[in-house]
């Protein structure tokens, strides 16, 4: 009797080397794989749920400061190094991988108002309440050497902020006016004013490096051109802007963190209307920093939370908070766009993942493929009510939650009133102002 056996040609299922893809014979006939939409929907739902399950963004807390952390700076060449200045004049340099402080300097008397690193990463500058600008070496002093600054410049007035040029040995300080300094000189090579008020922060444009933006306490944002040594334009907002940040990928875009709980993204060529108003915070926004990819930014607020906004969305995609984190004063996005650091009132620097549910470490190719697929599925089905609800759900502290409710009610009331006013007045007499234009008081040439 002949026995019939199944036999297959190994060429059809054995791969030549182990680097090849697995040879899996597959039949893509759609009749064999029915219900593609429901199946993908279920997969998307599961992916969304898993994302929420794995959303554990908090990585580490760096403690050691003896007063609130007032300013942060990234090392331009080293991802693991960050610098922080506290309200007691202390500057600390941290190592993120080891999560410890590697150097402590008593830099100023009073607050350290601003800190910035030189573009090459060999030294950094601090300004403080003691009216000085100090330049420090990045490396610590050798054995037996004393910890002292490379240079110290004593100014007339208090400097409230500092930023270094992205390519040259020039830095800018702000206080009563915006000064531009050559590193080698003790006098500013150029100083620019427009009006008389204290300027709270100044930032160099990272792309077109001769541009500067500053914000003053008389509610305005002023743009300067360093090469022509002149201010360019001024926009006056409803309330004071605390700081601005330039988009590192789009030369003319910057975002301003405002006291009125909102952030405004401007195209600097058209200041009369912001490109986008970002609202979700329930208290003054104190700091903002762009992701190095230029697609998102993070904002720190007085409401004890930090939020991540996509540049083109008006609502935040993520909110981070912990029980112990108080008013967040400064925030930075690391140069590899993977992490976020924030310094807050209660003397801690916290390290967060930029993508809450991301797995750290090296991924295998299959993990990567699964991650990408899940991401695409979430994107594809993001408008479905169940998925949307799960993806948007965040737990918030009671204070923020109740504040949000309150804000909503207030906003609704304001809107209702506006509508009623329009309804009961002569048509056309009450202009309808868009949300974007509402907050701009004037643009001064």
Taking phi over 0 as left and psi of -120 to 50 as alpha, with beta for the rest, 38 belongs to alpha
Q: How far is the CB of 398 from another protein (least distance, A)?
A: 29
In our burial notation (b when 16+ CB lie closer than 10 A, e otherwise), range 382-398 reads eeeeebeeebeeeeebe
Half-sphere exposure of 288 (CA within 13 A, CB side): 32
Q: Which is nearer to another protein, 69 or 245 (CB)?
A: 245
Q: How far is the CB of 1 from another protein (least distance, A)?
A: 32
The secondary structure of residue 435, as a DSSP letter, is H
Q: How far is the CB of 228 from another protein (least distance, A)?
A: 5
Q: Which is nearer to another protein, 199 or 211 (CB)?
A: 211
Within 8 A by CB and 6+ apart from 21, the residues are 15
**Residue 395 C-alpha from the chain's centroid:** 21
The Cα-based distances of 199 to 158, 193, 243, 254 in angstroms read 11, 10, 10, 17
Q: How far is the CB of 112 from another protein (least distance, A)?
A: 24
Q: How far is the CB of 317 from another protein (least distance, A)?
A: 13
Total H helices, total E strands in the chain: 5, 29
How many CB atoms are located within 10 Å of the residue 56 CB?
10
Q: Which is nearer to another protein, 169 or 413 (CB)?
A: 169
Angle between helix 36-53 and 385-392 (nearest 10)? 10
Q: Which is nearer to another protein, 64 or 294 (CB)?
A: 294
Q: Which is nearer to another protein, 239 or 373 (CB)?
A: 373
Q: CB of 189 within 8 A of CB of 181?
A: yes
Which tokens sit at 274?
């912001």
Q: How far is the CB of 346 from another protein (least distance, A)?
A: 30
Which tokens sit at 202?
């100044």
Q: Which is nearer to another protein, 136 or 254 (CB)?
A: 254
Q: How far is the CB of 335 from another protein (least distance, A)?
A: 4
Q: How far is the CB of 39 from another protein (least distance, A)?
A: 8
Q: Which is nearer to another protein, 345 or 358 (CB)?
A: 358
Q: CB of 266 within 8 A of CB of 274?
A: yes
Q: Which is nearer to another protein, 167 or 408 (CB)?
A: 167
Name the one residue in this structure whose structure tokens are 């991401």: 375
Within 8 A by CB and 6+ apart from 155, the residues are 131, 132, 133, 173, 175
């Amino acid at each position: 009797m002949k026995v019939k056996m199944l036999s297959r040609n190994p060429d059809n299922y054995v791969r030549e080397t182990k680097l090849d893809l697995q040879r899996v014979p597959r039949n893509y006939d759609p009749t064999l794989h029915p219900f593609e939409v429901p199946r993908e929907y279920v997969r998307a739902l599961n992916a969304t749920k898993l994302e929420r399950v794995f959303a554990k963004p908090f990585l580490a807390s760096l403690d050691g400061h003896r007063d609130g952390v007032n300013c942060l700076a990234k090392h331009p060449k080293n991802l693991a190094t960050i610098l922080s200045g506290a309200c007691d004049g202390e500057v600390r340099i941290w190592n993120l991988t080891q999560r410890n402080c590697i150097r402590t300097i008593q830099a100023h008397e009073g607050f350290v108002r601003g800190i910035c690193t030189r573009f090459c990463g060999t030294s950094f500058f601090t300004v403080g309440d003691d009216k000085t600008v100090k330049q420090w070496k990045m490396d610590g002093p050798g054995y037996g050497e004393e910890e002292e600054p490379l240079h110290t410049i004593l100014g007339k007035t208090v400097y409230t902020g500092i930023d270094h040029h992205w390519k040259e040995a020039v830095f800018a300080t702000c206080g009563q006016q915006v000064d531009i300094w050559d590193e080698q000189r003790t006098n500013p090579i150029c100083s620019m004013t427009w009006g008389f008020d204290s300027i709270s922060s100044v930032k160099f444009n990272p792309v077109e490096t001769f541009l500067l933006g500053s914000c003053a306490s008389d509610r305005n944002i002023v743009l300067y051109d360093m090469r022509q040594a002149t201010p360019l334009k001024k926009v006056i907002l409803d309330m004071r802007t605390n700081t601005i940040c330039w988009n590192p990928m789009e030369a003319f875009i910057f975002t301003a963190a405002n006291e009125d709980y909102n952030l405004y993204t401007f195209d600097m060529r058209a200041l009369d209307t912001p490109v986008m108003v970002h609202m979700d915070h329930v208290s003054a926004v104190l700091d903002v920093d762009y992701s190095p990819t230029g697609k998102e930014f993070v904002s720190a607020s007085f409401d004890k939370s930090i939020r991540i906004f996509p540049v083109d969305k008006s609502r935040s995609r993520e909110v981070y908070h912990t029980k112990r984190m108080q008013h967040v004063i400064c925030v930075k996005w690391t140069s590899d766009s993977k992490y976020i650091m924030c310094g807050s009132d209660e003397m801690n620097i916290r390290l967060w993942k930029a993508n809450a549910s991301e797995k750290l470490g090296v991924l295998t190719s299959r993990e990567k493929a699964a991650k990408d697929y899940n991401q695409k599925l979430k994107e594809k089905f993001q408008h479905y009510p169940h998925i949307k609800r799960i993806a948007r759900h965040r737990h918030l502290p009671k204070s923020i939650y109740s504040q949000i409710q309150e804000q909503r009610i207030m906003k609704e009331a304001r809107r209702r009133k506006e509508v009623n006013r329009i309804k009961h007045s002569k048509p056309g007499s009450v202009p309808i102002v868009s949300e974007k234009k509402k907050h701009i008081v004037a643009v001064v040439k």
